[in-house]
Amino acid sequence: MRLTVFGTGYLGATHAACMAELGHEVVGVDVDPGKVAKLSDGVTPFYEPGLEEVLRRNLDAGRLRFTTSYPEAADHADVHFLGVGTPQKKGEYAADLKYVHAVIDSLAPLIERPSVIIGKSTVPVGTAAELGARARAAATAEVEVAWNPEFLREGFAVQDTLRPDRLVLGLDSARERADWVAGLVREIYAELLEAQVPFLQTDLATAELVKVSANAFLATKISFINAVSEVCEATGADVTILADALGYDARIGRRFLNAGLGFGGGCLPKDIRAFMARAGELGADHAVAFLREVDNINMRRRTKVVDMAAKACGGSLLGANVAVLGAAFKPESDDVRDSPALNVAGMIQLHGAVVSVYDPKALENSRRVFPTLNYATSVADACDRADVVLVLTEWKEFTALRPEDLNPVVRSRSIIDGRNCLERARWREAGWVYAGLGTP
């Protein structure tokens, strides 16, 4: 099939490349000529394992191309995926839909034959219905709007697109062409459906709520174990063993029960805040009031690590040399949006420390956010004459570290494990002062 994908950020570029991998003829559309030029040359503007190979393979095969031209995109296909960003509004919790609206307002007047716009972006509930009315008012032909939320995990985006754990499609069942839309989507994902990927067809509102509800649940699970870790710190209990014990309960499971610095990135923080904002607009803010405490717990872990660093340096960070290993919000990503690691590095610098940051992939993005931090080219460079070392992103390069790797370069043998990802017994036996979150 012929498809377009509007937006070539993390979501859009991944979806475009993977739809081409499924055999479709895809045009990716973006208003940024720089992004379009990079992608056309087979270069992704962000780090995602495996994506560049898929991108280049399909560019070479002629199934994928990129453009800034909306008329070209409208002429190419009758099925248009919407994958632009929905960031948090400045000074508010609500999602900013200006990019979503811009696509609809630019595309709809160009549609001259029956078409469908399929949303992938995470939006507040009620957005799809509003966009449908908006598109139909501007188009000269019939336009349907459906919603097919994404469930991408950074570091696993290609896998999550080509073999997702479920497909969700939201339709306006009151529309005469709803069955036509469902048939198109089933055709697009035919290979996935043949592979027995579950397919759930819902109304528009349910589809919109699935992604944000999933993120809210995961955020709650992470903040739950971090709240428990605070109790562990007060009692001398070990949160890692406690989490293992909880994980054996089939009703709970072990995943996302890793106590530590907390969650970040471009999805969970802004999505739960947008969920709270939209619930408030609907008069149901009491129903998700607990998410405010989820957010508070998450942010509190960052200040906790700053306090731990100050304690490790004798009570004050003024003039201390602090090594921060990790800047991305998670491993296998260069994403530093709302990154706990980079946030902690910035706060420590504001307390007067000299901070050296190293990350295998996220240094360039980090410099844009915090240009005043020092950025190292290796672990050894970052830890040179360090008074304390902080491990804040669980890259394999860091979890594999041994005390003897750092003994020759640090000034003080003190390490803070912000992700509880190191073997603390090994570090203590080697004479290091080890501190973790929620561990004795």
Active site residues: 267
**How many CA within 13 A on the CB side of residue 414?**
17
**Residue that is written with structure tokens 């907390």 in the block:** 262
Q: Are 411 and 314 in contact (CB under 8 A)?
A: no
Q: Which residues pair with 79 in a beta bridge?
A: 3, 116
Q: Which of 196, 190, 203, 199 is nearest to 166 (CA)?
A: 199
Tokens 């003080």 -> residue: 412
Rounded CA gap, 153 and 267, in Å? Answer: 10
Q: Rounded to whole angstroms, how far apart are CA atoms 388 and 315?
A: 12
CA distance 259 to 1: 45
* Neighbour-count burial of 67, counting CB atoms closer than 10 A to its CB (0-12 exposed, 13-18 middle, 19+ buried): middle
Residue 201 — φ and ψ, nearest 5°?
A: -100, 125
Contacts of 296 (CB under 8 A, 6+ apart): none
